[in-house]
Chains A and B, each alone.
Chain A
Amino acid sequence: MTPDPEPTPAPAVPAPDEAGLAAIEAVDLARSYQLDGVSVEALRGVSLRIARGEFVAIVGPSGSGKSTLMHLLGCLDRPTTGSLRINGVEVAALTDTEMAELRNRTIGFVFQSFHLLGRTSALENVALPLVYRGVPKAERLRRSRAALESVGLGHRLEHRPSQMSGGEQQRVAIARALVGEPAVLLADEPTGNLDTRNGAEVMRILDELNGERGVAVVLVTHEAEVAAHARRQIHVRDGLIELDTGEPA
């Protein structure tokens, strides 16, 4: 492992044997877009390090670059410059196929609009990441059932998204994010489409998973109340980190 250019406090990691291996490590990340020939800089040099098992909120107003940052952290996009390591793997050097495999094995996504496949049962929605991993069907269903049970939906296996409430749908999405046992769970405004009660329930589940499973949760939100769940907050504005409350000691 290369020495950190920016010294950070020692991370609190749940797995001692892998101590020092950060879940996410970004150095000077920049991302610019070409819009009608004009270069727009969405991110202008962001460095951060998120240890395993952390619960981090990325906060910022719309247009701050937090969505761009989330896409980069989720390996959905590549930085224009800078280095990004996910679970120790340098993303810049990966091919598209390797990126897809990294997403599949290392990252779980929870979206604001759930992004479940309609007309497909909860169980099969949850099993989808394992399909792309080549896990045999019986094993897939077993693990999907367990994941749904862990979010309290053991009784909703065969229901379709249209037959479930928004809160239940988001819990299915969380189960899908977890079924592949990722190192990082990226949640993009996970409560944005939910009422207060369901939103609170979803946050409780995320808290619980973070505590029990040691999966790093990165929460992207513009709501201070939601961000307050995280032990660490990173404020993004104009493509730069404005404030980082820092990794807990």
Chain B
Amino acid sequence: MRSREAFLMALEALRVNRMRSLLTMLGVIIGVLSVVILVSIGTGAKNAVEREIAGLGSNIILVVPGQLTTGAAPTQSRLDLTDVAYVRRVVGNPAKVTVSLQSGETVRAGRAERFATVVGTDENLPNIFDRPLARGRHLSGTDVDTRRRVTVLGSEVADRLFGDLDPIGRQVSISGARFRVVGVYATVGATFGVARDAEVHMPVTTAQRLLGLSRINGMAVGASGPDEIAPLQERVLSALRERHPGEQFSAVTQTQLLGTIGSILGMLTGVLAAIAGISLLVGGVGVSNIMLVSVRERTREIGLRKALGARQRDILAQFLIEAVLLTTIGGLAGIALGVGGSLAIQALTPVPASITWWSIVLAFGVSAAVGVFFGVAPARRAGRLDPVVALRAE
């Protein structure tokens, strides 16, 4: 028998048992669908986080006091502006070092108010972070040196307080002090759940006086290139440890953040794929089960075909092709639904979904392999049936 005949024969058998074929495929469809969708969600989440990290700017080293380990209690900062000046000397490029002191405060303008993250920083912030302006100007060196009460608003804060009005030159009140708005940042979105559009920037010196603090939360150092990051990180850390013997400081780079978060999300994607894979396996067992039923039900047919001259391999091929067709058609349907589902999720929900070609290839390959693997046993049983016994079957 030619392979084309065997193929058509199997297709015909599936068509004849339409309902049963569909229900059998359903297991495979759901399995493949979940692989494609879950992997696309996992990948989408990973991509989104990586985009956020990359969106901060390039070649950034964040320097904070204490040990940076998950679950550790926040350390009381020992860093102040003299340390910043010291690090600037160590780095040798003062413009590539900026500072951060943060506090949650309510910002008011007239009757409107918004709870915002007040960030005390300096004129070097835009040299290190990607923080484009929508209007106005950045903080200047003079603002910092003379402790001016000026502020640059995040887009959300500006919208909330001023709506359609142009905030430049207007007054806001923060912790009872009046500030003049000199700039508004462009919308940048959230990074690690930190709503950067809800920030309010002011000179770090002004912030220290406002909050009654002399410390800062941390520093950010910009390296001149990717190769500079590691040596610079080491230089800054050892300089700070030398200056404050016995104290811990940490420096994290974007690459390190990316690596840690990437591997966590990668693992998550793997777990999701494995769970989906189990449902694909269950679908495969369903195919095997139905094929066994089908072989039993069609025992007389098999006996007849053998009597008419079908060889063992003809019968084996017929049933194996049937099983593989069930799973590959189911697999293709699952891929179509999975891709459709991922696109729908992307379009209709905030969940980022990114369809990956490897999950599609994998899902299809696995479903075809499931067909072969779970189809072989029933097909062999069919092929080996004794025609005399098979013809007598009820």
Q: By the criterion of a CB under 8 Å from any partner CB, how many residues of chain A are at the interface?
A: 24
Cα–Cα distance between A74 and B386 once the two chains are bound (Å)? 13
Contacts of A133 in B (CB 8 A): 309
Interface string of B295-329 (1 = CB under 8 A from A): 00000110111111111111000000000000000
B residues 274-314 with Cβ under 8 Å of A?
Answer: 300-301, 303-314
What residue in chain A is nearest B392 (Cβ atoms)?
A67
B387 at the interface (CB under 8 A from A): yes
Q: How many inter-chain contacts with C-beta < 8 Å in the A-B complex?
A: 61
Q: Which of A96, A115, A131 contacts B304 (CB 8 A)?
A: A115
B209 at the interface (CB under 8 A from A): no
Tell me the minimal C-beta distance from B308 to chain A in angstroms. Answer: 4
Contact A74 B307 (CB under 8 A): yes
Tell me the minimal C-beta distance from B278 to chain A in angstroms. Answer: 36
What residue in chain B is nearest A129 (Cβ atoms)?
B308
Interface string of A60-98 (1 = CB under 8 A from B): 000000000001001011000000000000000000110
B19 at the interface (CB under 8 A from A): no
Contact B314 A132 (CB under 8 A): yes
Contacts of B301 in A (CB 8 A): 117
Cα–Cα distance between A101 and B306 once the two chains are bound (Å)? 10
A residues 101-140 with Cβ under 8 Å of B?
Answer: 101, 103-105, 109, 111, 115, 117, 119, 128-129, 131-134
Cα–Cα distance between A101 and B387 once the two chains are bound (Å)? 14
Q: Which of B303, B308, B387 contacts A132 (CB 8 A)?
A: B308
B388 at the interface (CB under 8 A from A): yes
Tell me the minimal C-beta distance from A21 to chain B in angstroms. Answer: 21
Contacts of A103 in B (CB 8 A): 306-309
Q: Which of A71, A97, A111 contacts B311 (CB 8 A)?
A: A97
A228 at the interface (CB under 8 A from B): no
A145 at the interface (CB under 8 A from B): no
B54 at the interface (CB under 8 A from A): no
Cα–Cα distance between A127 and B65 once the two chains are bound (Å)? 86
B5 at the interface (CB under 8 A from A): yes
Contact A100 B304 (CB under 8 A): no
A171 at the interface (CB under 8 A from B): no
Cα–Cα distance between A190 and B5 once the two chains are bound (Å)? 30
Q: Which of A97, A115, A132 contacts B391 (CB 8 A)?
A: A115
A143 at the interface (CB under 8 A from B): no
Contact A100 B16 (CB under 8 A): no
Q: Contacts A76-B388, A131-B1, A132-B1 known; A115 to B300 CB distance under 8 Å?
A: yes
Highest count of chain B CB atoms <10 Å: which of A97, A101, A103, A133: A103
Q: Which of B9, B300, B387 contacts A76 (CB 8 A)?
A: B387
B2 at the interface (CB under 8 A from A): yes
Contact A132 B309 (CB under 8 A): yes
A49 at the interface (CB under 8 A from B): no
Tell me the minimal C-beta distance from A133 to chain B in angstroms. Answer: 7
Contact B388 A176 (CB under 8 A): no
Contact B311 A77 (CB under 8 A): no
Contacts of B16 in A (CB 8 A): 119
Contacts of A176 in B (CB 8 A): 308
What residue in chain B is nearest A105 (Cβ atoms)?
B309
Contacts of A119 in B (CB 8 A): 16
Cα–Cα distance between A103 and B313 once the two chains are bound (Å)? 15
What residue in chain A is nearest B16 (Cβ atoms)?
A119
What residue in chain A is nearest B304 (Cβ atoms)?
A115
Contacts of A105 in B (CB 8 A): 309
Q: Contacts A76-B387, A119-B16 known; A128 to B305 CB distance under 8 Å?
A: yes
Cα–Cα distance between A247 and B165 once the two chains are bound (Å)? 117
Contacts of B314 in A (CB 8 A): 100, 132
Contact B307 A132 (CB under 8 A): no
Contact B312 A109 (CB under 8 A): no
Cα–Cα distance between A226 and B245 once the two chains are bound (Å)? 115
Q: Which of A77, A128, A134 contacts B308 (CB 8 A)?
A: A128
Cα–Cα distance between A76 and B309 once the two chains are bound (Å)? 10
What residue in chain B is nearest A104 (Cβ atoms)?
B309
Contacts of A96 in B (CB 8 A): 311-312
Can you list 7 A-B pairs with a CB-CB distance of less than 8 A?
A: A76-B388, A100-B314, A101-B309, A103-B306, A109-B307, A132-B308, A176-B308
Q: Given contacts A100-B309, A101-B309, A132-B309, list 12 more A-B pairs with CB under 8 A.
A: A76-B306, A76-B307, A76-B391, A77-B388, A96-B311, A100-B311, A101-B311, A105-B309, A109-B307, A115-B304, A115-B391, A134-B1
A residues with CB within 8 A of B = 71, 74, 76-77, 96-97, 100-101, 103-105, 109, 111, 115, 117, 119, 128-129, 131-134, 176, 180
Closest 8 CB pairs of A and B: A104-B309, A132-B309, A100-B311, A129-B308, A115-B304, A76-B387, A97-B311, A71-B388
